[in-house]
Each structure stands twice: as structure tokens, then as C-alpha cells.
């Protein structure tokens, strides 16, 4: 009984230290060598990071389509993905949890951009700051200081540009899953305490 109670308490303590950020799935391109290029074929797969699958897609500009390349650039400890007339699709369906928030860092160097959420219509934008607040059904966007923040149920994000770099894509789990996990630990603790109380009383 004592061991079971200690285990339950440990589980609850672990939950108290958990946060959506600590359990987030992240892409930073650090494991990919600088100079690695993608764009040899449509829908070419980029190695997954933290359960986030990636692929290259066509870039759209007015009535034209482009498909050039994306390249890992930067110093040894701070890689980024440089995008040149191509789109990158981030598929979140294999991260192991429901994503309800996502952040993405970017730097624009010129030209137009593409953006889409959850497989919706690809927006053609003069700047990423033109992303509408209601970017997809049930999903809102906030763009500020080189950071895109999406809120809602998110399965995929597509981003591309003529001259653009992206980095630090962070997919954050829904708080509900953490609440349920914590409730499960508390319920186990209550059951163990109740059982222990009955056992002590019955032995008197």
C-alpha cells in the first residue's frame, strides 16, 4: 500500500512540473548539416523532427507556380531553413497529441509569400504580416516581430516565399490532455488513501 501511495504521489508531482511547452514538439533543423538542399522533386520528404513530418511543395505567385529549393543555412549552433520559391508543409498528425497552438519564427528578405493551415486554400501574400486573424476555420493567427502564433486545432501548416527563412517551429499540446493526466493521478491517490483508510479501520 505504501509503495502504491508513493507512486501515485510521484505521478502527481510529475504532473505539477509538466507544462504544454515542456511537452511540445519542435523543429529547429539543428540535426541537418548546413548546405543540405531540398527541392529535387515535388513532395520530396524532409527528415522528420520530433514527430513533425515535412515535405516540399509548389510555390504559387499569381498565375505562375514555382519550385526551386530550400536549404539549411546558418552557423553550427543555429540552423535555419532558407526558402527560395518553394513551400514547406509541416504535417502535425504524427506528433502524438492534439496540437492547439503553434509558433513559427521567420525572417523575410523580399518577394511574396504563401501560407495555409489545415490543408485550406493557399494564401498569396505580399508579407506574412498580411495573414488574416481568422486564417482557417477555428484557427486564429497573430503575427508580430517575426513570430507567427496560431491558436486552434492545427493539423498542418504550409509556408513558403521567394526569399524567406524559417526556424523554431513549436507545436504545443492541448491543455486538456494535461488536465486529464493530472486528474488521473489525483484519482489514483484518492483511491489509495480511501483503501488505506478502510484497511486500517478493518484491522482495529
> What are the extents of the domains in the chain?
2-14+178-202, 23-173
Distance CA 113, CA 160 (A): 6
| Residue 179's pLDDT band (cuts 50, 70, 90) | low
| Residue 7's pLDDT band (cuts 50, 70, 90) | very low
**Eight-class DSSP state of 85:** S
Query: Which residue is it, cell 531540398?
Result: 38
pLDDT value of residue 198: 40
Tell me the three state secondary structure of residue 112. strand
Tell me what percent of the residues of the chain surpass a pLDDT of 70: 75
pLDDT value of residue 20: 57
> What is the CA angle 119-123-124, rounded to 5?
145
SS3 string, 3-69, reads HHHHHHHHHHHHHHHCCCCCCCEEECCCCCCCCCEECCCCCCEEEEECCEEEEEECEEECCEEECCE
Q: Which of 117, 110, 53 is nearest to 83 (CA)?
A: 110
Q: What is the pTM of this model?
A: 0.77
Q: Which of 36, 51, 150, 52 is nearest to 101 (CA)?
A: 150
Distance CA 132, CA 173 (A): 23
pLDDT value of residue 44: 83
Of the CATH numbers 3.90.320, 2.60.120, 2.60.40, 3.40.50, which one belongs to the domain with range 23-173? 2.60.120
Q: In this predicted model, what pLDDT tens digit does every residue of 105-137 receive, in sequence order? A: 999 999 999 999 999 999 999 999 999 999 999
Amino acid at each position: 500500500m505504501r509503495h502504491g501511495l508513493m507512486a501515485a504521489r510521484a505521478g502527481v508531482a510529475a504532473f505539477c512540473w509538466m507544462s504544454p511547452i515542456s511537452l511540445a514538439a519542435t523543429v529547429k533543423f539543428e540535426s541537418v548539416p548546413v548546405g543540405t538542399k531540398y527541392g529535387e522533386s515535388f513532395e520530396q520528404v524532409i527528415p522528420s523532427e520530433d514527430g513533425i513530418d515535412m515535405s516540399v511543395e509548389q510555390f504559387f505567385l499569381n498565375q505562375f507556380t514555382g519550385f526551386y529549393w530550400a536549404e539549411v543555412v546558418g552557423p553550427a549552433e543555429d540552423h535555419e531553413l532558407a526558402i527560395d520559391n518553394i513551400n514547406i508543409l509541416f504535417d502535425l498528425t504524427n506528433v502524438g497529441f492534439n496540437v492547439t497552438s503553434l509558433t513559427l519564427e521567420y525572417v523575410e528578405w523580399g518577394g511574396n509569400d504563401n501560407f495555409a493551415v489545415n490543408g485550406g486554400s493557399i494564401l498569396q501574400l505580399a508579407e506574412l504580416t498580411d495573414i488574416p486573424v481568422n486564417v482557417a476555420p477555428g484557427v486564429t493567427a497573430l503575427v508580430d516581430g517575426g513570430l507567427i502564433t496560431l491558436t486552434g486545432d492545427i493539423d498542418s501548416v504550409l509556408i513558403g516565399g521567394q526569399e524567406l527563412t524559417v526556424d523554431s517551429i513549436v507545436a504545443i499540446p492541448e491543455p486538456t490532455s494535461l488536465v486529464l493526466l493530472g486528474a488521473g493521478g489525483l484519482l489514483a491517490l484518492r483511491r489509495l488513501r480511501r483503501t488505506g483508510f478502510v484497511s486500517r479501520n478493518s484491522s482495529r
